[in-house]
């Protein structure tokens, strides 16, 4: 499981971190429910993850910087996804995989109960972030793993050596 953050940066920033606290959205995928909603929208961002991080959106350390030219195609893809989700029932279970605990414990199926209204709110938040960035001339940044710490401005404990 991982932590992710979405926020804004100015195009003139040399590095995309730290993100400004206003407009920053953090989430953790330690909950199967959060992971379920992430799995609904993650495929839309796969090409951007490969472009910016040379790895998939499901990789541990991903950093995506969405620029103005990315906003229109992404908003169109979100609109298509919104229409697809509108055809879903009010709630449904989405199979995400299995957890195999050690020592012969029973296998746990990851099947969170997802709600259409919550999925729509997630899409609306992303659309709003893209529109705000477009109106203000900023970029939208997504990061997970090591990027999460940098983007949130979290310092390493004293004495920790950081390798680049």
What CATH number corresponds to the domain at position 15? 3.40.1760
Cα–Cα distance measured from residue 46 to residue 71, given in angstroms and rounded to the nearest whole number: 15
pLDDT at 27: 79
Span 29-76, pLDDT tens digits: 677 888 889 899 999 999 999 999 888 888 888 899 999 999 999 999
Span 91-149, pLDDT tens digits: 999 998 898 888 888 998 989 999 999 999 999 999 999 999 999 999 999 988 777 77
Residue 40 lies in a domain: yes
What is the three-class DSSP state of 73?
A: helix
Domain count, the chain: 1
Residue 62 lies in a domain: yes
Q: Which residues span the domain enclosing 105?
A: 3-152
Half-sphere exposure of 17 (CA within 13 A, CB side): 16
Residue 95 lies in a domain: yes
Residue 46, preceding bond cis, omega within 30 degrees?
no
Give me the DSSP letters along 18-68: SPPSTT-EEEETTSHHHHHHHHHHGGGGHHHHHHHHSS-TTSSS-EEEE-H
pLDDT at 19: 83
Residue 157 lies in a domain: no
């Amino acid at each position: 499981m991982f932590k992710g953050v979405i926020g804004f940066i100015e195009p003139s920033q040399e590095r995309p971190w730290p993100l400004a606290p206003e407009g920053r959205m953090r989430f953790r995928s330690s909950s199967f429910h959060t992971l379920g909603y992430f799995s609904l929208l993650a495929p839309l961002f796969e090409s951007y993850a490969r472009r910016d991080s040379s790895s998939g959106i499901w990789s541990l350390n991903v950093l995506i910087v969405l620029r103005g030219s990315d906003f229109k195609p992404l908003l169109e893809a979100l609109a298509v996804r919104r229409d697809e989700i509108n055809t879903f029932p009010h709630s449904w279970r989405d199979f995400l995989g299995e957890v195999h605990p050690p020592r012969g414990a029973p296998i746990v199926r990851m099947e969170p109960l997802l709600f259409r209204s919550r999925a729509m709110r997630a899409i609306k938040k992303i659309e709003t972030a893209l529109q705000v960035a477009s109106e203000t001339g900023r970029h939208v940044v997504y990061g997970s793993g090591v990027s999460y710490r940098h983007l949130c401005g979290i310092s390493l404990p004293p004495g920790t050596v950081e390798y680049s």
